[in-house]
Chains A and B, each alone.
Chain A
């Protein structure tokens, strides 16, 4: 075992002698402290290693040859070892960041820096309460002093505020210690713990003072103005030090004191932590200054840690578990927050919008991305697992308020961090950065460290399974080979995914799972071809793309809730990254991730109320005999509806679908939305025992679906932007699927799935064809195109097939989906819903005609006269989709029968539904009907070919005429712009029904956003910048908490 005394002695000796060493050479002293910090960190790791192999080792060391209550004891257990290792490592990284400062500032700064770390180490190690006061003061005073490395006015002012606040809190702490000593007669925490509880009010006061002293050092909202000013103005190296090392050590002190608190006190402080988390994030929402934003975020994260430690302890979890969970949050925050502060120092940009400077430096951008994403709790970072567990525990113990607070705070966090990331990734880039190695080094180490810690944590985490790693591995591997040509990467990706899909994904799945696997993974693989159209390396697509597809497969393959959620979050993240690749996709991507996160958090809450699943046994199989309550079903349902873009929560959808790159939009629309369908289906399976078609809930779901279909279609009619049109069209189609699912009947589900499959084909097809059009014309506004049928016949044919399929005109497969949806609805007596569905599908004709007419027909534009057909890579997927559509149109049985079988596993096929050859016969007591897709196809071919032959016979030699060979107002027009009837094509329709699509939802969400931002701004007003006011805050806060505690 390592004697912790040696650790402290080493720090002290170095600190005392550094002045002398510095006389020899400045660099000697700097490298000496590097060595000391690394050795200290190594001692931590060594101790950890020792303890892992020898868990029963005594870990307590006394001083002065006396044992505990008499002397001061240090404890160097597992937790302490982890902290010592990490804190010193970060001390080292921070020191290397400050290398230049040290060169200028001299030995004092170096000694001060070392003493900060000494204080932190001592605080972690000591088990004596007064001794911890001493180390706390060492830590604080050293921090006060080191603020002065940057002697500008602001940091001096912030320093004074900090010192005053620190002085007050340590005075409270000190007086609390001594008052408590009066009752306990000991200063040793362990001895204290073994005492029987003391119940007098005076003791409670003492405890309270002690606790509040430490607590205020943890910067709780709203008594944290001083800390924010400090984060904003201090040198970023120092700010990083404070937010990581300093806070971590004090937090650990808080943790050590926690067992001493009365439950009431702990409850109050825990609540205060949660408040701090939520409000810190709320105020950060409107913050434009990067360092101050990080300050808010940092206080929020500390609040979160305080909260989770307290809450989990209050719920009676074993300490080992509490610590493991908190460690996940802590490590993420440590790496990411200090990294972000360092990054702030490297970019030297305070305004968030100026962070676009990172665009020129993809390495730094990636590092920034890692930090931001980790902070938000996306997988595979440790905070993801921590949050997962916390929410699960809250759910199990029904701590709803806590859960809600945690989730709201997290959502706010997502908003501002993602906005920031958006600025960095998508803003206007102006200049280059100066990047000294000493500052880059810690950044790279912490990003790499965070990534590798996460990777190993994910590997080791129970209930994960190797499958769940694939998306991450794919991301990393394709990230490493991202410089290769895009064609090669495409082939590799297709090969890898196909092999994986065939040998790993499909075999264990039941029919329903295989079906979705084919839709999700198969549908995506086909569309990989489209990405291969890019020239050169086209960096940035394939890591996210492959991660997305693997994650999609994993959603189907999940056997535990965690696996499902992990895959879901990875999918969301990958989709976000893909959307962000779009040229103007900053806002769209932000909307996407915010709504997705909202959904994900609902899902998280829902999962926490759901019974545990059996590991190693697919959820989709378990769903058959498991049941969940209505509340989790509701939460999960809403979560999936968000992903599908149901009306009301569709706000993100048109933006994301239209601003993403065209290939991405295609995948988003045709594939990704089906993940939502899959989820919703699972939920319905889970509640199928006690919910029937006529339940109010299912009726409501049906109406949601119907209105989604209706409003989606109606809004699509009024778009000028082809991609927006397609986006709304997707929304509309998904509405049908929701209606079908809501029926909870065999036929209903078959129709929903049939539609899902169809939608994949035709929407993928149209998107691909339109991608080709956008590529060649360089615009998305339909009225700027026209007459492209002659230039891009293949695209035209694809779109033609697509719109026939979408509209449901026989003989293509689209009619099948209409037939299914109507019959299943009518069979259940949902007449009014049928009518509205019918109306929406009639409206679909409007936008579909507009799409094909304004783009491909009408007058060609002169500036598009050199437009060529699309590259082969975009045509391959189109060909595949056309073949698929034709196949299921001519032989509908190849899809309807398997679908019926797949659904039959969950809802048995009724006897009145039969196949008579290709004739699908429905003989239910309430409805008779039939559909013979095969025969329809032949009849249609017949009635089409006969007149065609006739026409060819009588009119074989037609004369081709030029574009303007029409008579327009008695003249030949020569202005295609005015002759092409395209802009605002359905003006009359807008006059009649436009009032229905006033942007109410937009107004609502804008209002919500504005409300939050002004709330945030109002709250931020309490930070007046006056040091005295901050002190007043501290005192009033103390009094407030005291009154809450209600000591009698």
Chain B
């Protein structure tokens, strides 16, 4: 496949995931609102926000890093997505997944976060830094169970290649990792709660107490970019989880179905639980899920 062709299809797949991701976000807001007894915004609210923000004329900047922050962020989201094969067996929806394996994806996730953190940092607002420090701290903690579950997969399948992992899960839902290696999946799903930063691990963005910080420092097209990324990034993560643990997808419909339910898991948990403090969530991630992860690794390494 020629490079141009590949780039073209990458754009298509990116478009798909953006739309789907944003839709999912909209649904989430709706669900939360309903759980809390509100009417909630319409499902398409994220799209409206993005368009509105991009249309704003005025913009201020605190400096070059501030300016680049959202770029880093969205580049991180897109890049992560670009390195994940979306549909199993499809030449069109495999993005640039041949540049690396699951390790690349796991590390590229940091790219956007780091850039964002830097950009927000230059804003000079202390809350940005506080949020970043919480986010990073929590991140180190939930990455441990996640890494353990990936390691468990490696022990199970003997590969880091996402496509190969998906291939190993083909042939009936009983061959999904969910059923062949349930402990790893549980571990990974718990750490996903942290990743998505919904309750009980929402102290990072702390939507109630800290209504300022990055979202208010950034505005207009910056904010638009961040919002777009929220969709892309969520989609990328969901696709990754789907590939690793739920047998992947061979067409877009299955993809949507699976990612929806994966997402809903964290949403339901988030809607039902109160919030942990940072140190509590660190302690949490480093105890139960970590032990589960270790057990799952040990199960497969012997």
**In the complex they form, do A and B come into direct contact, defined as C-beta atoms under 8 angstroms apart?**
yes
> Do B65 and A810 touch (CB < 8 A)?
no
Q: Does B133 contact A (CB under 8 A)?
A: yes
CA distance A846 to B159 in the complex (A): 29
Give A283-319 as 1s and 0s: 1 = Cβ < 8 Å from B's Cβ atoms: 0000000000000000000000000000000000000
Knowing A928-B160, A951-B225, A988-B137, the reply to whether A936 touches B99 (Cβ < 8 A) is yes
> Do A958 and B101 touch (CB < 8 A)?
no
Residue from the set B104, B148, B222, B277 with the largest chain A CB neighbour count within 10 Å: B104
Q: Does A963 contact B (CB under 8 A)?
A: yes
- A944 partner, pick from B75, B127, B147, beta carbons under 8 A: B75
CA distance A359 to B249 in the complex (A): 75
Q: Please, which residues of chain A bring their CB within 8 A of the CB of B298?
A: 831
Identify which of residues 64-123 in chain B touch chain A, using a CB-to-CB cut-off of 8 Å: 64-65, 67-68, 70-72, 74-75, 78-79, 82-83, 96, 98-101, 103-104, 107-108, 110-111, 114, 117-118, 121-123
Q: Does B257 contact A (CB under 8 A)?
A: no
CA distance A958 to B63 in the complex (A): 10
- B104 partner, pick from A936, A980, A992, beta carbons under 8 A: A936
CA distance A809 to B83 in the complex (A): 14
CA distance A843 to B136 in the complex (A): 8
> Do B58 and A967 touch (CB < 8 A)?
no
CA distance A289 to B244 in the complex (A): 70
Interface of B is mostly: helix
Knowing A928-B159, A991-B279, the reply to whether A809 touches B114 (Cβ < 8 A) is yes
Q: Does A62 contact B (CB under 8 A)?
A: no
Q: Does B4 contact A (CB under 8 A)?
A: no
Q: Please, which residues of chain B bring their CB within 8 A of the CB of A832?
A: 294, 297
> Do B100 and A936 touch (CB < 8 A)?
yes
Q: Please, which residues of chain B bring their CB within 8 A of the CB of A951?
A: 67, 70-71, 221-222, 225
| B109, chain A: closest CB distance, angstroms | 9
Selecting from B17-25, B150-158, B264-272, the interface stretch reads: B150-158
Q: Please, which residues of chain A bring their CB within 8 A of the CB of B101?
A: 928-931
Query: From B130, which residue of chain A is reached at the shortest CB distance?
Result: A981
Knowing A815-B107, A936-B104, the reply to whether A929 touches B137 (Cβ < 8 A) is no
| B195, chain A: closest CB distance, angstroms | 13
CA distance A979 to B103 in the complex (A): 37
Q: Please, which residues of chain B bring their CB within 8 A of the CB of A846?
A: 133, 136-137, 140
- B103 partner, pick from A787, A823, A935, beta carbons under 8 A: A823
Give A945-979 as 1s and 0s: 1 = Cβ < 8 Å from B's Cβ atoms: 01110110011011111011111100000000001
> Do B161 and A929 touch (CB < 8 A)?
yes
- A968 partner, pick from B103, B126, B140, beta carbons under 8 A: B126
> Do A927 and B137 touch (CB < 8 A)?
no
Q: Please, which residues of chain B bring their CB within 8 A of the CB of A819?
A: 100, 103-104
Knowing A831-B297, A943-B78, the reply to whether A809 touches B134 (Cβ < 8 A) is no
Q: Does B129 contact A (CB under 8 A)?
A: yes
Q: Please, which residues of chain A bring their CB within 8 A of the CB of B125?
A: 966-968
Q: Please, which residues of chain B bring their CB within 8 A of the CB of A852?
A: 118, 121
- A857 partner, pick from B65, B136, B152, beta carbons under 8 A: B65
Selecting from A345-353, A419-427, A800-808, A1008-1016, the interface stretch reads: A800-808
Q: Please, which residues of chain B bring their CB within 8 A of the CB of A919?
A: 98-99
Knowing A835-B297, A986-B137, the reply to whether A947 touches B78 (Cβ < 8 A) is yes
| B34, chain A: closest CB distance, angstroms | 32
Residue from the set A929, A961, A963 with the largest chain B CB neighbour count within 10 Å: A929
Q: Does B36 contact A (CB under 8 A)?
A: no
> Do A800 and B98 touch (CB < 8 A)?
no
Residue from the set B68, B99, B132, B298 with the largest chain A CB neighbour count within 10 Å: B99
Q: Please, which residues of chain A bring their CB within 8 A of the CB of B278?
A: 988-989, 992
Identify which of residues 815-861 in chain A touch chain B, using a CB-to-CB cut-off of 8 Å: 815, 818-819, 822-823, 826, 829, 831-832, 834-835, 838-839, 842-843, 845-846, 849-850, 852-853, 857-859
> Do B161 and A928 touch (CB < 8 A)?
yes
Q: Does A993 contact B (CB under 8 A)?
A: yes
Q: Does A790 contact B (CB under 8 A)?
A: yes
Q: Does A985 contact B (CB under 8 A)?
A: yes
> Do A944 and B121 touch (CB < 8 A)?
no
> Do A989 and B100 touch (CB < 8 A)?
no
> Do B217 and A835 touch (CB < 8 A)?
no
> Do B71 and A829 touch (CB < 8 A)?
no
> Do A810 and B114 touch (CB < 8 A)?
no
> Do A800 and B118 touch (CB < 8 A)?
yes
Give A78-112 as 1s and 0s: 1 = Cβ < 8 Å from B's Cβ atoms: 00000000000000000000000000000000000
Q: Does A789 contact B (CB under 8 A)?
A: yes
> Do B133 and A981 touch (CB < 8 A)?
yes
Identify which of residues 773-811 in chain A touch chain B, using a CB-to-CB cut-off of 8 Å: 787, 789-790, 796, 800, 803-804, 807-810
Interface of A is mostly: helix
CA distance A932 to B74 in the complex (A): 22
> Do A931 and B61 touch (CB < 8 A)?
no
Knowing A939-B79, A951-B70, the reply to whether A809 touches B111 (Cβ < 8 A) is yes
CA distance A118 to B60 in the complex (A): 93
> Do B282 and A831 touch (CB < 8 A)?
no
Identify which of residues 32-47 in chain A touch chain B, using a CB-to-CB cut-off of 8 Å: none
Q: Does B248 contact A (CB under 8 A)?
A: no
> Do A966 and B124 touch (CB < 8 A)?
yes
Q: Please, which residues of chain A bring their CB within 8 A of the CB of B282?
A: 988-989, 992-993
Q: Please, which residues of chain B bring their CB within 8 A of the CB of A946?
A: 78
> Do A857 and B158 touch (CB < 8 A)?
no
Q: Does B139 contact A (CB under 8 A)?
A: yes
> Do B136 and A845 touch (CB < 8 A)?
yes
Q: Does A925 contact B (CB under 8 A)?
A: yes
Q: Does B216 contact A (CB under 8 A)?
A: yes
> Do B99 and A818 touch (CB < 8 A)?
no
CA distance A951 to B59 in the complex (A): 11
Q: Please, which residues of chain A bring their CB within 8 A of the CB of B141?
A: 992
| B137, chain A: closest CB distance, angstroms | 5
- A835 partner, pick from B110, B148, B212, beta carbons under 8 A: B148
| B101, chain A: closest CB distance, angstroms | 4
- A954 partner, pick from B98, B121, B154, B221, beta carbons under 8 A: B221
> Do B155 and A989 touch (CB < 8 A)?
no
> Do B122 and A789 touch (CB < 8 A)?
yes
> Do A858 and B124 touch (CB < 8 A)?
yes
Q: Does A49 contact B (CB under 8 A)?
A: no
CA distance A835 to B144 in the complex (A): 7
> Do A831 and B151 touch (CB < 8 A)?
yes
| B13, chain A: closest CB distance, angstroms | 13
Q: Which 6 A-B pairs have the closest CB atoms?
A: A857-B121, A928-B159, A929-B160, A981-B129, A992-B282, A992-B279
Taking beta carbons and an 8 Å cutoff, which residues of B are in contact with A? 7, 54, 58-65, 67-68, 70-72, 74-75, 78-79, 82-83, 96, 98-101, 103-104, 107-108, 110-111, 114, 117-118, 121-127, 129-130, 132-134, 136-137, 139-141, 143-144, 147-148, 151-152, 154-155, 158-161, 164, 212, 216-217, 220-222, 225, 277-280, 282-283, 286, 293-294, 297-298, 301
Q: List 25 A-B contacts (CB under 8 A).
A: A787-B124, A789-B122, A810-B108, A826-B151, A826-B154, A831-B297, A846-B133, A849-B114, A919-B99, A930-B101, A932-B99, A936-B99, A936-B104, A944-B72, A947-B74, A947-B75, A955-B221, A960-B60, A960-B61, A960-B63, A981-B130, A988-B134, A988-B137, A988-B277, A992-B137
Q: Add 15 more A-B contacts to A807-B110, A832-B294, A849-B136 (CB < 8 A).
A: A818-B107, A826-B160, A829-B301, A831-B155, A835-B147, A838-B143, A849-B132, A858-B124, A919-B99, A947-B70, A954-B54, A954-B221, A955-B221, A966-B125, A993-B286
Taking beta carbons and an 8 Å cutoff, which residues of A are in contact with B? 787, 789-790, 796, 800, 803-804, 807-810, 815, 818-819, 822-823, 826, 829, 831-832, 834-835, 838-839, 842-843, 845-846, 849-850, 852-853, 857-859, 919, 925-932, 935-936, 939-940, 942-944, 946-948, 950-951, 954-955, 957-961, 963-968, 979-982, 985-986, 988-989, 991-993
